[in-house]
Structure 1
């Protein structure tokens, strides 16, 4: 029996020879700010439907469909000849009106002299003066008709009112279009691209939270000042686009329980277009002192979160914590940890409460992968 007894120093003799190895790190202490996320759609800052102002046949389409145009660029030309003829007729009528007005003015001037010499009656003098005034009014009317005719002639050249990306031509050369303010023919559409808007719907609970924060001075409300906003498209990681919330509607929609808001973002490369789905985040709190840990270090215990913390004897201690949101890939810890605590980040499966471990310290922020 003595010969069969294993020596205490033999390999694998006792539990002290199998101390688990773990990797631990201290939480990152820094000034933090919570962010609230919303979904939205990109919309154009300006959108113009190009309609014909005068009727006629389209003689030229001067743009390439789907490209960018600048304000003032020629888009369509409507046959100007009928309107040029109207302008020439109006010019002739104006010349005739001016001649008639000059003759009436001479007669009115003579009537004044003749009246002083008692050569004509007062009624005749008054008639000539009124006739001169009427002819001057006729001149002004002819001038207004000429301006209107020239304006219609100008409208035969349809130019871009804004800069942006243009759609396709809904009407091609040779087709008759209708002008005017009603039932005018739609020719094309232009949308402005830089900057670009993202419209979001904020729920009532969030709106009340933001107004309480404004009331307490924790964070300004977007109703009174612009606040920062960050955005990502569905194929983008992180929050690469930075802008501002520049508009909040004046009432809650009772059907949805949300309020409409709008963020504006630079779009210098014009790669973002109206209609894209986007994620937007805005500050959900003021700045505060907080701790960050790796999300992989957090365990779940029947709906409660916990981490393993090492005491001064390198024994694992079960520590319940209250978590906040993810921030740049790290998890915010609301309570339960201190900045000097050593948190197990690797080797969690081999850790039990009160078990002695062999720790290796590392940085809480994982190193960026090398390419």
Structure 2
């Protein structure tokens, strides 16, 4: 009886230990199952974007540059001789014609010089007549051998000297006549005179600065501007082919059109410091809207592309792949990064020279978190027809920006872009 009592508590403790171990193993198995249980995959919802379909149309190839109005002629009228200015025959700011009287220099001293030259001419002519008479007599005597040969020869030389003296007197008189003409100053070109530089009563000298007046030709006029060397080849090809390249001048703030003209000349050298070449366009300027030395914005229409592939400018991105668009894959409504080559742009639409067809659909807005292969859903509120008016809009924008202009929303694939395009014409995905 005493031996059975200690054995029972030992078995109870052993059973308790086994029970605890079993419980711990069960708890461990439950924990492992919970930790290693595979979470159900969440389906990523498609991203809402705005799309547009590429279209074909016309696109003007335009270069936008800064130009300066350069008159066809700017002449500073300088006196050719010295004297007192006695009269001025123009009003400041007056339009004058070529040959119109401008100023008068006191010519009395030049008239006196001419009278002296005329008197000397008369004297030399009388001496020449006497020498010729003597030569005729000496010739007859020389034939008879009545005088020395040296006397006859000396007389021949004397006649030649008197003839030269007469020619010199005639040249002096001609110079005096020219001086008298210089005293009466006339306009060498037609144009507009500036402010008066010298008042009557002042003593002027030959080629004295600042001159008598400055004449500037207003009608017609020219505008000089520069183009980068990358665009020069295209311009020269068109210019050398005889094509007329329209040039439009806008105000300095680009708010209004001033005048239209044509490109007619290019410089024969390139500026090495800037890598540009100077071009010149001519304008009739009948309304005198272009003022000399005025700064203007110039738009040169190089060519107009026909049947070009157009997409909204907002669809064009720039990143690690270069220039690219998000191409919509119509079969599964996903997008892929599609590299493209760009052409001219008018700000609203951009030409795609290669890498895209006219029927392809691209994303124009909602590219903030878009990546290659992402699923999309076209926005029904903003989806519409393709860029059907792109061609007409491009054709009427001859004053658009050049193809080298910056495109908005440029970023690498997957990077954030908070901008959106309000100008793009969206289209529903096919």
Interval of TM-score (by shorter of Structure 1 and Structure 2): 0.7 to 0.9
2:344 matched to 1:325? yes
1:249 and 1:56 map into 2 onto residues whose CA distance is: 43
Structure 2 counterpart of 1:72: 99
2:317 and 2:258 map into 1 onto residues whose CA distance is: 28
Moved more, 238-247 or 43-52: 238-247
User: After the TM superposition, which residues 1-371 of structure 1 pair with which residues of structure 2 at under 5 Å, given as runs?
Assistant: 27-30=55-58, 32=59, 34-179=61-206, 183=208, 186-203=211-228, 206=231, 210=233, 220=237, 228=245, 230-233=247-250, 234-236=252-254, 237=256, 241-250=260-269, 252-254=270-272, 256-269=273-286, 270-282=288-300, 289-295=307-313, 298=315, 306=325, 322=340, 323-327=342-346, 330-335=349-354, 337-341=356-360, 353-355=376-378, 357=380, 360-361=384-385, 363-365=388-390
Deviation for aligned residue 1:274: 2.4
Change (3 A) 1:70 1:238: closer
3-state SS of paired residue (2:159): helix
Deviation for aligned residue 1:50: 0.9
Deviation for aligned residue 1:122: 1.4
Change (3 A) 1:280 1:106: same
Contact 2:258–2:290 (8 Å) recurs in 1: no
Change (3 A) 1:228 1:139: same
Q: Deviations over 1:35-57 (max 9, x none)?
A: 33332322222221111111111
Contact 2:69–2:295 (8 Å) recurs in 1: yes
Change (3 A) 1:25 1:223: closer
Change (3 A) 1:333 1:205: closer
Change (3 A) 1:225 1:265: same
Instruction: Return 5+ residue gaps in structure 2 as ranges.
Output: 1-47, 369-374, 397-430
Deviation for aligned residue 1:310: 9.8
What is the RMSD of the two structures over their aligned residues, measured on CA atoms?
Answer: 4.1
Deviation for aligned residue 1:115: 1.1
3-state SS of paired residue (2:281): strand
Deviation for aligned residue 1:328: 8.1
Change (3 A) 1:271 1:105: farther
Deviation for aligned residue 1:29: 2.5
1:126 and 1:301 map into 2 onto residues whose CA distance is: 98
Deviation for aligned residue 1:259: 4.2
Deviation for aligned residue 1:227: 7.3
* Count of aligned pairs between the two proteins: 332
Change (3 A) 1:58 1:299: same
3-state SS of paired residue (1:52): coil
In the superposition, the TM-score normalised over structure 1's length comes to: 0.72
In the superposition, the TM-score normalised over structure 2's length comes to: 0.64
1:106 and 1:146 map into 2 onto residues whose CA distance is: 26
Deviation for aligned residue 1:66: 1.6
2:71 and 2:174 map into 1 onto residues whose CA distance is: 35
Contact 1:41–1:275 (8 Å) recurs in 2: yes
Higher strand share goes to which structure?
1
Deviation for aligned residue 1:152: 0.4
Higher Rg of the two aligned structures: 2
